[in-house]
Structure 1
């Protein structure tokens, strides 16, 4: 069956997810969106102990369960310390280059529920002041947050309620262009979450039933390595749905669905990967098979956690991952189509 995902629904939900801050460890607000969307489509949500969502589609064969996972947590930072000058030192949440967040607008989320805005800067931000402004190393200890409040000292900052351990989110700046590109931070992996909800929306609208039981796992700690370290015991196959990388020695484009044959955790299941490739050919879905040696997924975490599963990895092609990312809506929609075909056959 060749389903036709609802483009308007998927892209609208993607924009909503991108506009909602959700660095790993600070995901309650975005998980509430996940719950609301699932409820609106008529699918109840269960929760694991650390706040990840489990959404079940009943299949024709209840003896086997396939998992489709995507993560809604993103890169971000936390307050490491408050300086005497009234700025914030940071510690990273997830892996990214410091120069990729330089001059980025951000939000500081305090433990008492207040939100302040700021800008992430090098400690030597001005060429008119610092002779080494261009060459000053962009490392974590040399970056700071300039807060958009009247603060000149550590005491001023503490009086605002900002303190060590508060979360810092980076403005996504999500844009959908007339040519169909979606450019934003955090397409890794909110594009895949939107693709999974496109599958749910199609299931409800077209009233189709998967061959086996399907559990959608929306994880919230993938960027720090343990998003799907625990999965329900009835799962036998798992497809991690995560962005496909683009660059040297890789075939994937932003309009492609990426099918990953191997990443840093090793090869993915031979038969599952073959089946995904066959279906992509049958449906005439633009796709690429690639190997990502610097990459890990929720399926990697599940395997390392001891889960007795077979696993595969697919997702929309994303350029400049962990920086200012871009994909094309065609790859997001086709990811939904490919996954639907897999669980229907």
Structure 2
């Protein structure tokens, strides 16, 4: 196995393209086309599911037991719940995020035929009018509204604009990359993971690295609403590595630097053997890393397992501050992850026995004890 050079300029460029392409869960066609165009440029074959999840293939020496590496391209967002008498819009979230992170956000409203810009505001937003009442008003999605940047005073005006219940809102990402390597933006979960996976693919293709088994980069479109990788896996996929965010919050061991390896999430422990293979690769190739356990966290791995897929799963993450809010990561974590993913692609399968869905005891591993 070889540790390839990661094209850091490419990583940043594709990340910014992804961040500037709206993709709330349920409204992901644009970003699907963007990723497909990038795979075509890299000359990587792929297929699409009916709804738009992307399953690419990097051919290996043998086709089984093959592996998948997963990132999701859908993000959080909002949807119109009702048209209000004051000409504004009541919202519900798409995905699980707190309304306090929506207050003040600029967003794009997608109607059936056009799009409108606007701002999500608390119901009492004027300090000159409400003064201390602003601080005392309750939080939550029932206490914010969307102000459309158009001449609207009532429901009739909204209808003339073509606005309807169920229209999608995409929240502006507003990315900023500092001289110190920090990346601030909304929706780094998981567009940063997608950029990492594409950068690893680019490195493997550019350096002509040989893979021992088929590897399927998988880009899912509904992770933020729970289904994620539940339906896009091939039945012969034996091991699946998910790339997503780790939370650098009090009580957590995640870091904005290096790779954070998840040992368990709210569903339970990840596969012991695959997780320790990832740890071994970090040690062998001197990739900085740490381990963490997440209590309130699901990923594509959880979606795949709960859907009944008998697949070994592991989760590697970039540490993220203020997850599902205005997020911050460091470029060091993205580069470290891309290196890890590129060497994992080159490794042998965990167990040759795993090419069979069912098999005898012979060849089944045992944990140390």
Indicate conservation of the 8 Å contact 1:5/1:333, yes or no: yes
Equivalent position of 2:310 in the other structure: 308
Equivalent position of 2:351 in the other structure: none
Deviation at 1:335, TM superposition (A): 0.6
Indicate conservation of the 8 Å contact 2:201/2:342, yes or no: no
Equivalent position of 2:212 in the other structure: 211
C-alpha distance in 1, partners of 2:138/2:206?
53
Equivalent position of 1:241 in the other structure: 243
Equivalent position of 1:156 in the other structure: 157
Equivalent position of 2:295 in the other structure: 293
Deviation at 1:256, TM superposition (A): 2.3
C-alpha distance in 2, partners of 1:98/1:300?
25
Equivalent position of 1:20 in the other structure: 21
Equivalent position of 1:92 in the other structure: 93
Deviation at 1:317, TM superposition (A): 1.2
C-alpha distance in 1, partners of 2:146/2:75?
19
Indicate conservation of the 8 Å contact 1:69/1:240, yes or no: yes
For structure 2, which runs of at least 5 residues remain unmatched after alignment? 348-369
C-alpha distance in 1, partners of 2:80/2:28?
17
Deviation at 1:193, TM superposition (A): 0.3
Which structure would you say has the larger Rg? 2
C-alpha distance in 2, partners of 1:184/1:219?
21
2:115 counterpart of 1:115: yes
Correspondences of 1:27-106 after superposition (within 5 Å): 27-106=28-107
Equivalent position of 2:124 in the other structure: 124
Q: CA RMSD in A?
A: 0.9
Using a 3 Å threshold, how does the CA distance of structure 1 residues 256 and 135 change in structure 2: closer, same or farther?
Answer: farther
Per-residue CA shift, 1:124-182, capped at 9, x if unaligned? 11232224211211111111001100111110011011111110011000111111111
Calculate the TM-score normalised by the size of structure 1.
0.98
Deviation at 1:61, TM superposition (A): 2.2
Indicate conservation of the 8 Å contact 2:110/2:167, yes or no: yes
C-alpha distance in 1, partners of 2:287/2:252?
18
What is the aligned length? 344
Query: What SS does structure 1 have at the residue aligned with 2:333?
Result: helix
Calculate the TM-score normalised by the size of structure 2.
0.92
Indicate conservation of the 8 Å contact 1:20/1:29, yes or no: yes
C-alpha distance in 2, partners of 1:30/1:208?
28
Deviation at 1:214, TM superposition (A): 0.5
C-alpha distance in 2, partners of 1:243/1:208?
27
2:201 counterpart of 1:190: no
Per-residue CA shift, 1:60-93, capped at 9, x if unaligned? 2212110100001000000111101100000110
Indicate conservation of the 8 Å contact 1:252/1:287, yes or no: no
The ranges of structure 1 where at least 4 consecutive aligned residues each deviate by more than 6 angstroms after the TM superposition are: none
For structure 1, which runs of at least 5 residues remain unmatched after alignment? none
